[in-house]
């Protein structure tokens, strides 16, 4: 049901959901946390209740935004029902006791926290967000606003599609650094989103040994993960969450 990073501060609640342990049925079976593609709202609410209990947070504290595959970053106390962004962050001094969450089903979920557990962030980095370097931008903004050194950040990159399954058009591949694009004869390019996000974080000062990969390829593991690339819309989504 829940995957966690090994090296995050003990005071931080966090995790990446899998598709196991919920009550949804059919294509949504069983731990679907998203309403976007038609699951029963009552089932999604029960799934969230179960995940919150396993993650040791109150479900009503969860803050999410309308994700739009961009690079907008909001502080949790700035979020309202119409907010559009792809990253949320908070500091202990901000009002409220929010737990931050992003939904994914192949896109890259990234959680950030500093060594002392003073600030944290949840990031949705799809291919467009990765091109826009939203993970790097969020880490930089959080450090500047919270007075944190980048070398004190820990990052967890959660379950997402990996390079073997992420075939893209040539027009998409051209937007990435060639170091993260695999090209072979007689097939379309493949992009390594995990490596691209990791490199962005390292470039803004997060130590490589403090960037952890949590989970596996969503496309290649249907028993454990939902995958938009594998099944399309009309299936489930995972939740990545973090709170102080």
Q: What is the pLDDT of residue 4?
A: 98
pLDDT above 90 for 127:
yes
Taking only the tens place, the pLDDT of each residue in 197-242 is 999 999 999 999 999 999 999 999 999 999 999 999 999 999 999 9
Cα separation of 94 and 29, whole Å? 37
Q: How far apart are CA 20 and CA 47, in angstroms?
A: 10
Sheet bearing 13-17, strands edge to edge: 2-3, 13-17, 238-243, 99-104, 62-63
pLDDT band at 1 (very low <50, low <70, confident <90, very high): confident
Residue 183: what pLDDT?
96
What is the tens place of the pLDDT at every residue in 31-72?
Answer: 999 999 999 999 999 999 999 999 999 999 999 999 999 999
Q: How far apart are CA 230 and CA 143, in angstroms?
A: 36
| pLDDT > 90: percent of the chain | 97
Q: What's the rounded mean pLDDT across residues 121-139?
A: 98
* Domain that includes residue 59, residue range: 2-243
Q: Which two tokens stand for residue 83?
A: 């907010």
Q: What is the per-residue pLDDT across 81-118, written as a single tens digit (0 to 9) for each?
A: 999 999 999 999 999 999 999 999 999 999 999 999 99
Question: How many independent structural domains does the chain possess?
Answer: 1
- The CATH number given to whatever domain includes residue 122 is 3.60.140.10
pLDDT tens column, 175-195: 999 999 999 998 999 999 999
Across 10-28, average pLDDT: 97
């Amino acid at each position: 049901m829940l995957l966690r990073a090994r090296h995050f501060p003990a005071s931080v609640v966090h995790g990446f959901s899998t598709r196991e342990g919920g009550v949804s049925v059919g294509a949504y079976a069983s731990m679907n946390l998203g309403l976007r593609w038609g699951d029963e709202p009552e089932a999604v609410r029960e799934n969230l209740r179960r995940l919150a209990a396993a993650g040791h947070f109150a479900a009503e504290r969860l803050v999410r935004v309308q994700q739009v595959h961009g690079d907008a970053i909001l502080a949790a106390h700035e979020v309202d029902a119409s907010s559009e962004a792809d990253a949320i962050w908070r500091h202990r001094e901000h009002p409220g006791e929010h737990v931050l969450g992003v939904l994914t089903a192949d896109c890259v979920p990234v959680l950030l926290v500093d060594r002392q557990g003073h600030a944290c962030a949840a990031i949705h980095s799809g291919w467009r967000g990765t091109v826009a370097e939203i993970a790097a931008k969020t880490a930089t903004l959080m450090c500047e606003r919270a007075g944190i050194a980048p070398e004190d950040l820990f990052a967890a990159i959660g379950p997402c599609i990996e390079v073997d399954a992420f075939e893209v058009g040539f027009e998409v591949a051209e937007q990435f650094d060639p170091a993260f694009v695999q090209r072979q004869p007689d097939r379309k390019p493949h992009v390594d989103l995990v490596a691209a996000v990791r490199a962005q974080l390292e470039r803004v000062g997060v130590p490589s040994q403090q960037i952890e990969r949590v989970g596996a390829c969503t496309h290649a593991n249907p028993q454990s993960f939902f995958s938009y690339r594998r099944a399309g819309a009309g299936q489930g989504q995972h939740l990545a969450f973090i709170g102080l």
